[in-house]
Amino acid sequence: MVQFPNGKINIGLQITGKRPDGYHDLQTIFYPIDIKDIIESISSHYEGDEITFSSSGLPVDGEAMNNLCIKAYQLIKKDYPYLPSIKLHLHKAIPMGAGLGGGSADGAFTLKLLNEKFDLNLSENKLIEYALALGSDCPFFILNTPSYATGRGELLQPISLTLTGYSILIVNPNIHINTAWAFKELKLKSHSIELAQAIKEPMHNWKELITNDFEEPVFKTHPAISELKNYLYRNGAIYASMSGSGSTIFGIFKNNMRPELIFPETYFHKWV
């Protein structure tokens, strides 16, 4: 069985306060994009460890046992101890530490794979509950539809936003941004307009209305990321922004306008 976890971009990301539990309250628009990893369950019912994990493609950061695919299996196994052993292979194509949610997508899609493969009949709400235990961004990938998110990012309200008629250029400058560092450097500030209202404005107004609060500390430390955003605007982007806590910049262009832009060889870039 194969699943194709896709990435996401954040259209706007406003941090509205710090919570007693140490997390931050936020407002953001999650929008799925067509950049995908591949997860394959190669076999099951074999002797050995409960889960055997391998990967290919982009190098996966950190210890294998901290991978969200493995944690997703262990989470389900705790409640369903009869779950058979399984071998998972992850082919990684979504850049990591990039604000595209690739790791979160992998964990959430592993939950969906296990639910389907082993006929667990888990409801969408139960899958979202498991996904939240993996990480704040994970519940979005259970719904995987444009959504207005609040709370930690787990309170999701699907919205009718569509970017049909536009092309999105995704550019990652191969700079890894640590999310914990980004939150530490963040300075809370007030916002002149609620994101839920701003997203309803014509796209040509988004530049003035929709911001990502992480841009200030990230751009200060990594001016090349700020220049990348300006580069997209100079070449015709209607709206450009950093996604998540960075370092990916995306630009939204009219479909009939796909400029041929030049990036360093180390940059990842793709039209979606």
Main-chain phi, psi angles of 3, to 5 degrees: -125, 155
> Which residue is catalytic, options 8, 92, 112, 229?
8
Please report, to the nearest 10 degrees, the dihedral formed by the alpha carbons of residues 140, 141, 142, 144 taken in order.
Answer: 90
CA 38, distance to chain mean position in Å, is 15
**187 assigned to active site:** no
Q: Give CB contacts under 8 A, 24+ apart, made by 177-181.
A: 177/97, 177/98, 177/99, 177/218, 177/222, 177/245, 177/246, 177/247, 178/97, 179/244, 179/245
> Which residue is catalytic, options 37, 106, 137, 213?
137
**137 assigned to active site:** yes
State how far the Cα of 128 lies from the Cα of 125, in Å rounded to an integer. 5
- The pair of structure tokens assigned to 160 is 């009718």
State how far the Cα of 68 lies from the Cα of 263, in Å rounded to an integer. 31
Measured in residues, the chain has a length of 272
Residues that are catalytic: 8, 137
